[in-house]
Chains A and B, each alone.
Chain A
């Protein structure tokens, strides 16, 4: 009887494990299939010319250089606005803001920023940056729009990184007569920086993949050259992918997959970069 009950327990344990493993595999399969499909179908399109030439014949021939460069400009523009603002807001919220209804509602608003659909940011950018501020359909308008969206992430990661700095450091610093700002500037921020940068890099990679918001604030279908100023229109990989996939008849299939592959590589390499920064920081803390 006892032997039987043990084997029954073992049976249910094994069943549970098997179910969990199967669930995990089911989760991973779509990711693998997508990546493999993109590589298999798109690899043949990748060539030196594809990466370094401007498109011709509505994207059917030539390369995607303007879209690649446009995406990098966009990431750069996004982070130039989103990182300093996010860090400053993060410092204010953790170090200076008093616990009151205003702070609580600001925190709530920031959390909800992340949940706003991206096309809504696009419309906001169209109304405010393109029309109200007269920045026009431009790289600047698009960067600012994506920066608004990225703020949710940079504020949150900055706040968490700052909160993770031990209280003992702050007390030790204040106890030798450092001001609050000196404590933040010379002790807290250097400690929090790797985590803040990690968050910023992830925010950049997300901005690189956004299609809907830039659609309405400045991404162009086809441009012969690169943007010469922040007020120029630009091409970007996700929007280019959308147009060649949906709006150009007779598009060679491998070109479409090729664009997807380049976009995937850009986004994933930034994710990997973020992981490397995080791992190095962890190692540094461990050794310290």
Chain B
């Protein structure tokens, strides 16, 4: 599995540049073990998909990387989680700084109850950007990157809720892009969207992967096959703890799975 480069989805991935790494990670919620011994290396500037049946801990795994699990009372992490080789659960790490570098897009579009403009500049404002001209530049750039500018440039003052579901999700992506992260975590970003809006987000992801490291959790096998460079298949064991079954280039996982359980899952025999 450890190759220097793989050919997947028509793109050469330089696996030598690892952006995120987990080593033997265990995650507990109180007495319940949600993840068991997960070791994974996520390459830079590529899309890595986490797939697997409901409840196998995909989202919990994703939330390791921006320490979103910290919000849950009783959550405890063992093992190493690294961003650019830096252990992000070290006590000297500033979680706020980490979340600036590792942004997150959620399952349900969650625009804030404010204007499109204010949604995008929410992060930059919190990080001390006050200059209106600078904020306007950020809005235009972020919305362009999120492929939303042409649709909303005349209604920046309108409520974020006035947009369609797909537009709202792209607004949320723009909101993340506005703080210039290095990694974007996406937790089933299309599960609340119709097929057309879904394709738009997928195109956007491919475009963003040129400059960002993207990790996406998805239920949708076709989506993982279409969009990702690398794929990780997770399952839960008898005690409901999530484990990593197989990880590799998406083309390999989908055409030539090594594990019988992966094959059963992607061919639709369960899950």
Q: Which A residues are within 8 Å of any B CB, using their own CB?
A: 98-99, 166, 168-169, 171-179, 182, 186-187, 191, 285, 288
Contacts and interface: CB of A to CB of B under 8 A. Distances in A.
A191 B113 contact: yes
B121 to A, nearest CB: 10
B93 interface: no
B122 A178 contact: yes
Interface-centre pick from B96, B103, B126, B179 (highest chain A CB count, 10 A): B126
Contacts of A174: 68, 71, 99
A173 B104 CA distance: 10
Interface string B94-112: 0011011001101010101
B1 interface: no
A176 B123 contact: yes
Contacts, number: 67
Contacts of B22: none
B113 A176 contact: no
B178 A176 contact: yes
B126 A175 contact: no
A182 B161 CA distance: 22
Interface of B: 66, 68, 71, 73, 96-97, 99-100, 103-104, 106, 108, 110, 112-113, 122-123, 125-127, 159, 161, 172, 175-176, 178-179
A288 B123 contact: no
Contact of B96 (A168, A172, A177): A177
Contact of A175 (B104, B125, B161): B104
6 contacts: A99-B73, A175-B176, A176-B178, A178-B126, A182-B126, A187-B112
Given A176-B176, A177-B97, 10 more contacts: A171-B68, A172-B175, A176-B103, A177-B100, A177-B127, A178-B96, A178-B123, A186-B125, A186-B126, A191-B113
Which applies to chain A's interface (DSSP): helix, strand, loop or mixed? helix
B266 to A, nearest CB: 30
Contacts of A288: 113, 159, 161
Contact of B99 (A168, A169, A177, A187): A177
Nearest to B99: A177
A172 B178 CA distance: 13
Contacts of A175: 66, 68, 99, 103-104, 106, 176
Contact of B175 (A98, A166, A176, A187): A176
B126 A172 contact: no
A172 B66 contact: no
Nearest to A172: B110
A175 B122 CA distance: 11
Contacts of A166: 110
A173 B100 CA distance: 11
Contact of B122 (A99, A168, A176, A285): A176
Nearest to B172: A172
A202 B56 CA distance: 48
Given A169-B112, A171-B106, A173-B112, A179 B122 contact: no
Nearest to B67: A174
A177 B106 contact: no
Given A288-B159, A288-B161, A177 B179 contact: yes
Given A168-B108, A171-B106, A191-B113, A177 B71 contact: no
A191 B113 CA distance: 8
A99 B72 CA distance: 12
Given A169-B112, A171-B110, A179 B96 contact: yes
A100 to B, nearest CB: 11
A169 B172 CA distance: 11
B126 A179 contact: yes
A281 to B, nearest CB: 11
Contacts of B99: 174-177
